[in-house]
Each structure stands twice: as C-alpha cells, then as structure tokens.
Amino acid sequence: METTAMGHAEVHDHGHGPTGLKRWLTTTNHKDIGSMYLWFSFAMFIVGGIMALLIRAELFEPGLQFLDPERYNQIVTLHGLIMVFGAIMPAFVGFANWMIPMQIGASDMAFGRLNNWSFWLLIPASLLLVTSLFVPGGAAGVGWTLYPPLSIQMGMGMDLAIFSVHILGISSILGSINIITTILNLRAPGMTMMKMPMFAWTWLITAFLIIAVMPVFAGAVTMLLTDRHFGTSFFSAAGGGDPVLFQHVFWFFGHPEVYIVILPGFGIISQVISAFSRKPLFGYASMVYATASIAVLSFFVWGHHMFTSGMPVTGQLFYMYATMLIAIPTGVKVFNWIATMWRGTLTFETPMLFALGFIFLFTMGGFSGLVLAMTAVDVQMHNTYYVVAHFHYTMVAGALFSAFAAVYYWLPKWTGHMYNEKLGKVHFWLTMAFFNMTFFVQHFLGLAGMPRRIPDYALQFADFNRISSIGAFGLGISQLLFLYIVVSCIKGGPKAAAKPWDGAEGLEWDVPSPAPYHTWEIQPQVK
C-alpha cells in the first residue's frame, strides 16, 4: 500500500504520563493495551497448558494416578474455558489492538478508556476461573459446554465459572464494539473497505460475530444461574424445563464461537503467505466474501454438535448438508493461499513456516470435521477422542499456529529487533513434531472408541495414550523456547528495519521499528 505521508519518524517522549504500575492500569494507548493482552494471553496459555499436561499425565497410563475423577473433570473444563476465552481470544484482541490502528492509518482505537476496561476485566474473570479450583466442591466439572442437568447440580465453583463467563463476555463485546468502530470510522483517507488488509477484514467480521453470539451465551449462563438459585426452570426438567434447550442455545453461540477463534487467524495467514511469497494475495475479494460466508453459515450449523441428543432425520440431514457447505468457502481460502504461493519467490522464515504448518494441519482438521459432519458417522464418533483430535487440529494448529506466525511476523515492528531466526525455526519444528505426536494418534484412539472426559481407559488404548502424553510434554516444554525467543528479542538483537520483510505490504511497515508510542497522528493518504 503506497502512502503519500510517511509515518512519524520522531519518537515521542512523553514526560507527562503516569509511570510504573499506574501507567499500565490507566493506559489508553492501543500498543500498551495490545501488549498487555498478549502477555495476559501467554500467561493463560501457560496456565491452560499446565492443565493440559495434568490431563496427559493422568492419561499416560491406564488407571488413576494423579487426579481423582472429579478433579480430572474440573481440570478438563478449566483447560477448555481458559484456552478459548483466556488464551486464544485475548491473543487475537491483542494483535487487533496493536496492528489494526497501524494497518488502517488510525492514531489509536476509537474508544481508549473502553479499551482499557476491556482488558482489565479479563483479570478478575481469569482469577474467578482459576480460584474456583480451591472452593468447596471444586471448580465446574461439567466440560466447557456447561450442559445441564449437571451444571445445575454442581457446587459453587459453577457460579464462579458463570460469573467469569459474564465478565469475559462483557470484555470481548466491548473489545469488539471498539474494533468495529475503529475500522468503520477511523480509516485513513483513501483506505476503502476493499483496500483493507485481510487481518482487519477478518477481525471486522469476527467482531460482528462476537457481538451477535456472546450476549446469547451470557443469556444462557444467566438462565443457568437463575435455575440454580432463583427457582426458575429454563433447563431444569424437575420444573418443566428442557435440558436439550440449553444445548441448542449453547451451540447457537458455540459454533460461531469456533469461527471467532479461527477467522482472525485466517487474516494473519493471508498476510504472512502473501509477504513471504512476495506476491499480492490471490483472490482478495473472494477471501473477503468467503470469510463473510463462513460467518453467516456458522449460524445455521449448530445442530451438528447435537446429532446424538435426539433430532428428526430431516433435522440431521439439514445440519449435515449445511455443515458440509462450509467446506466450500473454507476451500476457497485454502486454494487462494496455495495460489498466492504459486510461482511466488518463497522464503521460509519462521512466520512463513508457521503459516505453512497452519495450512497443512488446519486443512487436516477441516477434513476430520467433514467426517464428523456425516450424521451416521458422528453417532459413532460423538464424544470420542476423534472429536478431541479434530478440534485440536483446528484450534492449536489453526488458531495457535496463526498466533505464533503473527508474533514472529510483527515482533520486529513491536520491539525494533530481529528475533533469533534459527531458534524460531527450531521452535516451529519442535512444535510441529510434538503437536502431531500428541494429537494425530488421538484420531486412532477415537476410532477405536476411547471416550473423552474420562480419566481412565481400557488397556488396549495404552500405547497410543503414552505416545500422546510424551508428545504433549514435548509440546509444552517447546513453548518455553518461544518465551525465551520473545524475551531476548525484546531485550536486544539485530536492529530491525521499518520493513524487515521485503515482501510485506501494509501501512504498519511505513512507521519505524520499533513502532513509536503514537503513530499516524496525521493520517496517511492512501492512493
């Protein structure tokens, strides 16, 4: 993207702002808030990761070793909630905070103070979740889907989870309103919608998804809360309610939610693939329309999570075909990425490696999703490790890999230093190998009938579980290398140019590295 005005070369030194902790508590600067989001998300990633390792330690061999079944279910539930709402979503909001104003030529987000609130709400929410492990009765042990009747019967840990979900929901709704307003109102002159970088586009669509479905989820958990304590009977069968209704309401939120988690990743991958292929993105307009179609379709497929809950054949067929329909826009995106690389001048720096890993593994996750979409097959696979393998291929190899790609891609812009490329590549290959070691074998376990959310298993599953557990510990330890790479890049390293990737495009590369505290105070003119 060409601009007539260059970014501000002078680095503002603001002597008037508060310093120390107060600076971070009161900041309205999108870069400060973006950094806090990213660090918070990494911390939650570690917390959720430790929980994952507890799960895998328990499953290392048959029998009960470390966790009793109640505690195991609590850990499984919190792992899911923390990774989705604490790690992945805040990571993408962090990228959005840092990059969207720079990409569209805005000086900051539209609502600075709201932005500050969106972030700081995350802290009590996450504390509620983590401390619920230590209240009498323990944390919610119902799975991240919070299905009644169990969630109506759980102890007070469930209430803490419900309040946590409320706060997380408010945080992400406020964040989304901010992002939508920023993108719609604060674009630089000449930056038309169809000139926006894909990351901004995918986030705009994601933000609309969030404000459409997070309130529905908030409503569902509020109904759970009143069923538990205030004598209503929305889901309590004893009072005439219907537990299956909760499943419908939950998945009306839950299916769009999984696209909320992945769509910003699609945007990041689109930009990284284009940068390291040194070619403009193939089929930009079709990418925008594909993203929008995925978002719209996501509202009509929730029933595929409920094939075994009881549904007429017509309903099953509808949800099966509607789900398979999503493969079309997703296929458009994958083929566009491949076409972008076609005859490009490819180099394989770490962001590109993660992007390629993303395409390879996410597509596999997409295909196992198509397998599960078939009603007749799903009845067999429902609640087995096949499903666990499927959504970790989309969430870890999808969302997390795209987050890693984004960190390596924009780290020089944030810190002004180049990260250690060699270690970055080692991080990628370790992650790639251990990820597949952990999750690929889970397909076999699921096909053989191993159920999820159970701390023990039959002896014939022992070998694959052992491989999976070893992979999980490798995957977890490899992320410490990531932390080391990021910290050492912040502390020093070779000086990064304003545009360290010669194929990269976008306004963010017109400002110096590291990006000054205030950018685009005078909006650039986009031709």
Residues identified as active-site: 79, 108, 144, 171-172, 255, 257, 259, 270, 304-305, 330, 333, 452
Q: What is the rounded CA–CA span in Å between residue 503 and residue 510?
A: 13
**Could you please report the per-residue DSSP string of 85-110?**
IIIIHHHHHHHHHHHHHHHHT-SS-S
- Which among 18-26, 307-315, 430-438, 454-462 is the span making contact with other proteins, rule CB under 8 A? 307-315
Q: What is the rounded CA–CA span in Å between residue 260 and residue 203?
A: 9
Interface with other proteins includes 75 (CB under 8 A)?
no
Q: What is the rounded CA–CA span in Å between residue 165 and residue 146?
A: 11
**Closer residue to other proteins in complex, CB, 192/314:** 314
**Closer residue to other proteins in complex, CB, 186/388:** 186
- Which among 74-82, 84-92, 310-318, 492-500 is the span making contact with other proteins, rule CB under 8 A? 310-318
Interface with other proteins includes 288 (CB under 8 A)?
no
Interface with other proteins includes 467 (CB under 8 A)?
no
Enumerate residues 314-353 that contact other proteins by CB under 8 A.
Answer: 314-315
**Closer residue to other proteins in complex, CB, 173/381:** 173
Residue selected from 25, 123, 127, 184 as contacting other proteins according to rule CB under 8 A: 184
> What string of H, E and C letters represents the secondary structure of 251-312?
HHHHHHHHHHHHHHHHHHHHHHHHHHHCCCCCCHHHHHHHHHHHHHHHHHCHHHHCCCCCCC
Question: What is the CB-side half-sphere exposure of residue 334 using CA atoms within 13 A?
Answer: 18
Contact residues for 461 (Cβ-Cβ < 8 A; gap 6+): 62, 445, 448, 450
Structure token pair of residue 73: 């279910």
**Angstrom distances, CA of residue 396 to CA of 84, 276, 350, 410, 495:** 10, 22, 17, 20, 31
Give min distance, CB of 87 to other proteins, in A.
23
Interface with other proteins includes 476 (CB under 8 A)?
no
**Closer residue to other proteins in complex, CB, 220/268:** 220
Cβ atoms of 337 and 272 closer than 8 Å: no
Residue selected from 100, 180, 441, 498 as contacting other proteins according to rule CB under 8 A: 180
- Which among 67-75, 205-213, 356-364, 416-424 is the span making contact with other proteins, rule CB under 8 A? 205-213
Q: What is the rounded CA–CA span in Å between residue 230 and residue 149?
A: 16
Q: What is the rounded CA–CA span in Å between residue 128 and residue 139?
A: 10
**Closer residue to other proteins in complex, CB, 107/488:** 107
**Closer residue to other proteins in complex, CB, 218/389:** 218
Instruction: Tally helices (H) and strands (E) across the chain.
Output: 18, 0
Region class of 190: left (phi > 0), else alpha (psi between -120 and 50), else beta: left
Enumerate residues 87-146 that contact other proteins by CB under 8 A.
Answer: 107, 110-111
Give min distance, CB of 253 to other proteins, in A.
8
- How many residues sit in the footprint of other proteins (CB under 8 A)? 34
- Which among 180-188, 189-197, 417-425, 455-463 is the span making contact with other proteins, rule CB under 8 A? 180-188
Write the binding mask 145 to 174 for other proteins: x where contact by CB under 8 A, - elsewhere: ----------------------------x-
**Closer residue to other proteins in complex, CB, 178/274:** 178
Phi and psi angles of residue 451, each rounded to the nearest 5 degrees, phi first: -80, 155
Interface with other proteins includes 376 (CB under 8 A)?
no
Give min distance, CB of 182 to other proteins, in A.
9
Q: Of 418, 409, 424, 421, which is closest to residue 508 (Cα–Cα)? A: 409
Residue selected from 312, 376, 459, 491 as contacting other proteins according to rule CB under 8 A: 312
Region class of 278: left (phi > 0), else alpha (psi between -120 and 50), else beta: left
**Closer residue to other proteins in complex, CB, 111/444:** 111
Enumerate residues 218-247 that contact other proteins by CB under 8 A.
Answer: 218-220, 223, 234, 242, 244-245
Cβ atoms of 24 and 78 closer than 8 Å: no
DSSP 235: S
Catalog residues that contact other proteins under the rule CB under 8 A.
Answer: 107, 110-111, 173, 176-177, 180-181, 184-186, 211-220, 223, 234, 242, 244-245, 248-249, 252, 310-312, 314-315
